[in-house]
Amino acid sequence: MEYENDVNLAAVAEQRLGAARGHEDFVLLWNQEGLGAALVLGGRLHRGWTGGAGEVGFLPVPGAPLVRKVSRTGSGGFQELAGSQALPGLARESGVAEVPSGPYPEIAAALVARAARADAEDDPHRRLLRTYATRLATGLASLVSVLDPELVVLSGTSLTAGGEALRDLVRDELEELAASRPRLVVGDVTEHPVLRGALESALATTRDEVFDTSR
């Protein structure tokens, strides 16, 4: 029996129930406790030789120090640049006066949600959102340049909290950084996406076993 990681399960939920329905080739970029991706190619999850496909947090990227011995540190360039834990520091650099405290995913989601509501271009929160979008697009450009997916789904609370405002900024930046032009969408399955993906996977496995005519 295969056990999926959380990001792959979120991709299953989006493929069966959400924004990726009807799409055979897509990337789901996830940012919550960690930053990762799920790769669906030809309608099937691509897990890689060792099961580590999609560990994009380890990507070396411009704008972040080169992280070595990543398996020991559990982090990498893209994670340090755009992961949830980077948002509080980025908010302070952008001039945000009050940065909430608490677990990084909750802080990041709160900051991004507030930034997405900011209207004035000189608002520090708006500045935060623009910089965050650039950082996300920096890593995403490598993915879409190699895979040329039809669709990119933004998922995980540190991304979905930004809604269409963040999506638009990431799309505009990505058009400047990559030749490929995938459609970017915000994930539809925002309530317990990992759990819902696990349920969909279990249902599919059960159906395959019940209707297996080869035995």
Assign 208 a pLDDT band (cuts: 50, 70, 90): low
pLDDT digits 0-9 by tens, 134-149: 999 999 999 999 999 9
Angle value at C-alpha 121, between 118 and 124, nearest 5 degrees: 65
Q: 132 has which bridge partners?
A: none
Is 28 in a helix, a strand, or coil?
strand
Q: Token digits for 177?
A: 């950084």
Query: What does the DSSP 8-state code read for residue 182?
Result: P
Pairwise CA distance, residues 215 & 52, whole Å:
32
Identify the residue whose tokens are 């959400």: 18
Q: Is the dihedral of CA 198, 80, 40, 24 positive or negative?
A: positive
- Which are the contacts of 113, defined by CB distance < 8 A and separation ≥ 6? 161, 162, 163
Helix and strand numbers (H, E) in the chain are 9, 5
Assign 44 a pLDDT band (cuts: 50, 70, 90): very high
- Is the pLDDT assigned to residue 201 strictly greater than 70? yes
pLDDT digits 0-9 by tens, 71-87: 888 889 999 999 999 99
Considering the chain, what is the average pLDDT of its residues? 92
- Is the pLDDT assigned to residue 57 strictly greater than 90? yes
Other CB atoms within 10 Å distance of the CB of residue 186: 20
Q: Is the dihedral of CA 207, 12, 157, 191 positive or negative?
A: negative
